[in-house]
Structure 1
Amino acid sequence: MYRVKQLDVSVDLASFSRWLREQGVGHRITEEGGFQVLWLENPDHAAPVLEALDRFLLEPEMREAVNTTSQSPVFVGGRWQPSPRHAPLVLGIIVLAVVVAWVTGMGSNQASTLLMMVDPQNYAWDSLSARVDALRETLAGGEIWRLISPDFLHFSWTHIIFNSVMLWFLGSQIEWFDGKVRLMGLFVFTSLVSNGLQYFVSGPLFGGLSGVVYGILGYCWLSQRRYPRFQFPPALVTFAVVWMVIGFTPLPEMLGLGRMANEAHLGGFVAGLALAIVWPPHRRAA
């Protein structure tokens, strides 16, 4: 724990403490010699937390916003538990992915070729130059949707369930705190980068929301360090990065998990980090 602020015991910090907890900021408030002391688990949170605390102490509207947020319907017992109405855009993406999985028979029938970056039956894609030419001809023919549509292809129920759970948990927080426009921008940007990188490296036979999920995770992790508001265990990032590295080894195939879209994972994660840097969110209390 890192000591960051000492205040008189007469200052009521109960609602501010609840608000910090709901933003996922690990902290503790202790009493020492007639004063109360605010401690933080992560020293990187000190600057934004002190800024928020100063506003909380000086601005009545900030205190009112904090009190309102502390009673937010998306938090239950201090934990992030939104309902579908709190993140309709994320829910729509998940529903569309499930429908596509059903229509394409988990990527096993002819309909799935309509969603790949290029139709693998109509173009050669055995070299980088061939893949570039195939994509150029496909886009020139007006099939722009193929840049995004591989996100909705999945090849097993385990695949789509895992992606959906992660997208709901993290994506719903972005939609709630940062807004639908930012979530949509993040979705499109990470899709373009992850799908493009995967296609140019290995060809069109891939699919899934994993690249977007990695992008959202990268965005949440870096943006959270600059402006705490999201709630997720820090170990999640470590696990995801380790799993991404393992994907570049033969281990997943040895375990019978098949080949992973490693370049999509890497591209999405880097794209999410980049967006967190170049498009910082507007700070707000809710």
Structure 2
Amino acid sequence: MTSLVIGLVAGAVSLTFETVRDYVFISSTVAKENDSQKKDDASQPPFTVSVQPERGEPQSWTMVLDRELTAAETQKMQDSPSPFSYLRDLGGHPLEYASYLENAPDRYRDQQIASGRMENVDTFKLSFLSTRAYPVMIDDWKVVDLACTKSTRKTIVSRPSQGGAAYEGISLHLPPRADEPVLTDDTEGQGKPYFDSRYIEVGGGQSSGALRVEAIAPPGQSCEWGIEVHYTDAHHQDEYVQLKDGDGSPLRLHTESAPASPRQKWVFGPVPWTPCHLNPRGNMCDLA
């Protein structure tokens, strides 16, 4: 009887040891697999970016062209059901009017209207994409490698805004003013630094994030610029990196404003077609 009990106890001890050994082996294997997955994840780019211009015709806009319009083109423009599409087909570069931030802090709103005319903006959508299994958080950015030259555009055609409007996204001047980019959404926080209260998160099952960007070049200037963003991730990366295009080269963004002394300047919409370059009176030419 004693031998039987000892045998049973020995068997139990043996079974417990085998179970513990298997558990330790499985745990070690899982830990190694997790480490391998994390290393593989960390080796992937934290994100890639793409830039798409605003699509469709905005309610108010300015089109800038490299040359003067001929008499025939001017007539077709005025007769066209969509002057915006017609001018873009001629090679025009579309600009929009900046969002009116009526709920922004007084300081920012006063700067917005200080020039006496509405600002034109180059608008685009900046998309961040990530295939990482662990999340990546973008919580700041800065403009880098800014280079501006005098605009050589010859013609402006404008359909000025008849009222203020705000669109979801961010806005900044080149070079950025203090606290820019700012939030343009018609919500609490409008006109305040975007990254003070928000961030962009990608990866971890959330594949993409996007921002509508209103970039404002200095009056009469054409600018090229890049962006550095600050990000953190699950692998303890905490740094600024310069955004790159699909070819792996530093991303270069093109932003224009209307030329200071165009040879032709047309305004329509709130008023009949008006040739501002012929110095008419009683018009909205100063808004263009």
Structure 1 length normalisation: TM-score? 0.19
Select the structure that is richer in helix. Answer: 1
Q: Highest CA radius of gyration, 1 or 2?
A: 2
Select the structure that is richer in strand. Answer: 2
Structure 2 length normalisation: TM-score? 0.19
